[in-house]
Amino acid sequence: MSLNRRALFGSLGGAAALAAFRADALARIAEAAKTVAGRPAASVASDETYWAEIARAFDVDRTLINLNNGGCSPAPAHVLEAMIRDLRFSNEIPVYHMWTVLEPRIESVRRDLAAEFGCDPEEMAITRNASESLETLICGIDLKAGDEVIFTTQNYPRMITSWDQRSRRQGIVLKPISFPVPPKSAADIVERFRQAITPRTRVIEVTHITNLTGQILPVRDLVRLGRERGIEVFVDGAHAFAQFPFKRDDLECDYYATSLHKWLFAPIGTGFLYVRKAKQKSIWPLMAAPATMDEDIRKYEEIGTHPAANHNAIAVALAFHRGIGAERKAARLRLLRDRWAKRLAAASPRVRILTPLNDTESCGIGFVHVEGLDTEKLQAHLWDKHRIMTTPIIHPEFNGLRITPNVYTTFDEIDAFCDRMEKLLKSGLPA
């Protein structure tokens, strides 16, 4: 068995899960992997034949161009089918099929995700999304009035709202900091955090990659900064996991939260929460769990009745991700980013790309501000008139379009977006 196939089958968690695969999807990506074996990721990134094979795993509607895959990605058809199959099976007799047959399979999902992230399975909780994971951390850590929390004005709004609610309820003090887009340097970001630290600082919440401009932040340096001073560092990796390769030990983090319906292409309503073993006792679950579970990562999964189908299909999505390979996926996403961003930047001095176009500071997400074109009207025009979906980002400190292609995005689609933008740069938006 080749390495790729072993990685694929290894992540499936047994014969029962294997049956979930639409046979041709598995065969197709395994065959496609053979055709590019041994070639560097950067060279495979531009191989449209290879990526066309990957795209066939998705039910893509080519009458529209989806450049907002960051919000939520479609799952490949066979991942969706695995979930639907399990939903139907559950529905026959939920108390037995869902609870007794399917739910225990969460353990193989835990094992596979832990292997992918580089932690122990006993540190990996399966959740419904990054929000649930992060709120577990934000609401679950003991803090008292006057304790301080540092985050940036570019953290995800729901998380800022969660901190704000805790502040209103318990009098903790919030210390938001800002940094320019693009930032001066990674060191400058770390310095801004350092300057906000006081003897009362208890928590830093940092976004691994922002949902706004796609900026990757220097998480490991911030984790080290926090650890030196006894400050807990919560990492929001909603957009990072499976978009570009990294392991827990690259970040050295104690806490990590992500959604899996973004870049892993798992079904909607899937995520994980990593909490280092030694830290579990001090983070309460969102929904109460018995004291016997104080040091059991499963206490974060005590959420009442929920479908087993969604989280079990994570295993199938992970197999698909491994079938492509994290390096190849990231290289393709970066190539697509460069294709539109460099072309638009060259088209007019009014175009400002506010995402650094390099491998360490960004990946598939890019952000463009166009002087003279109203961001919201531009987004609406692209969708209403041309069926091109982008994301309008209106932040108090900057605004523009966020562009997030996916592995099924073709060069032709990127070029169609650029053609349209170049026309609008010349003619302006219709009144």
Contact residues toward ligand PLP (CB under 6 A) are 129-131, 156, 158, 207, 211, 236, 238-239, 259
CB nearer ligand PLP, residue 271 or residue 323: 271
CA distances from 345 to 246, 339, 350, 390 (A): 29, 10, 8, 17
Long-range CB pairs of 268-271, under 8 A, 24+ apart, other chains included: 268/72, 268/75, 268/310, 269/128, 269/129, 269/310, 270/126, 270/127, 270/128, 270/129, 270/310, 270/311, 270/313, 270/314, 270/317, 271/126, 271/127, 271/128, 271/129, 271/130, 271/131, 271/132, 271/133, 271/238
Minimum distance between the CB of residue 264 and ligand PLP, rounded to whole angstroms?
12
Minimum distance between the CB of residue 148 and ligand PLP, rounded to whole angstroms?
21
- Mention every residue, 6+ apart, whose C-beta is less than 8 A from residue 332: 44, 45, 51, 407
CB nearer ligand PLP, residue 18 or residue 268: 268
Minimum distance between the CB of residue 185 and ligand PLP, rounded to whole angstroms?
21
Minimum distance between the CB of residue 284 and ligand PLP, rounded to whole angstroms?
19
Minimum distance between the CB of residue 69 and ligand PLP, rounded to whole angstroms?
11
CB nearer ligand PLP, residue 11 or residue 270: 270
Chain centroid to CA 369: how far?
23
CB nearer ligand PLP, residue 9 or residue 244: 244
Minimum distance between the CB of residue 274 and ligand PLP, rounded to whole angstroms?
15
Minimum distance between the CB of residue 236 and ligand PLP, rounded to whole angstroms?
5
Distance spanning both ends of the chain, measured CA to CA = 61
Q: Name which of 285, 291, 280 is nearest 254 in CA terms.
A: 280
Measured distance CA(70)–CA(77) in Å, rounded: 18
Q: What is the DSSP string of 245-312?
A: ---HHHHT-SEEEEESSSSS-PPSS-EEEEE-GGGGGGB--SS---GGGTT-GGGGG---S--HHHHH
CB nearer ligand PLP, residue 108 or residue 133: 133
Exposed / middle / buried, residue 305 (Cβ in 10 Å: 0-12, 13-18, 19+): exposed
Minimum distance between the CB of residue 153 and ligand PLP, rounded to whole angstroms?
13
Minimum distance between the CB of residue 258 and ligand PLP, rounded to whole angstroms?
8
Are the CB atoms for 155 and 298 separated by under 8 Å? no
CB nearer ligand PLP, residue 32 or residue 134: 134
CB nearer ligand PLP, residue 257 or residue 309: 257
CB nearer ligand PLP, residue 58 or residue 156: 156
Are the CB atoms for 70 and 262 separated by under 8 Å? yes
Are the CB atoms for 254 and 233 separated by under 8 Å? yes
SS3 46: coil
CB nearer ligand PLP, residue 13 or residue 267: 267
Minimum distance between the CB of residue 188 and ligand PLP, rounded to whole angstroms?
21
- Mention every residue, 6+ apart, whose C-beta is less than 8 A from residue 361: 182, 186, 215, 216, 355
What value, to the nearest 5°, has the Cα angle with vertex 323 and ends 25 and 360? 135
CB nearer ligand PLP, residue 4 or residue 270: 270
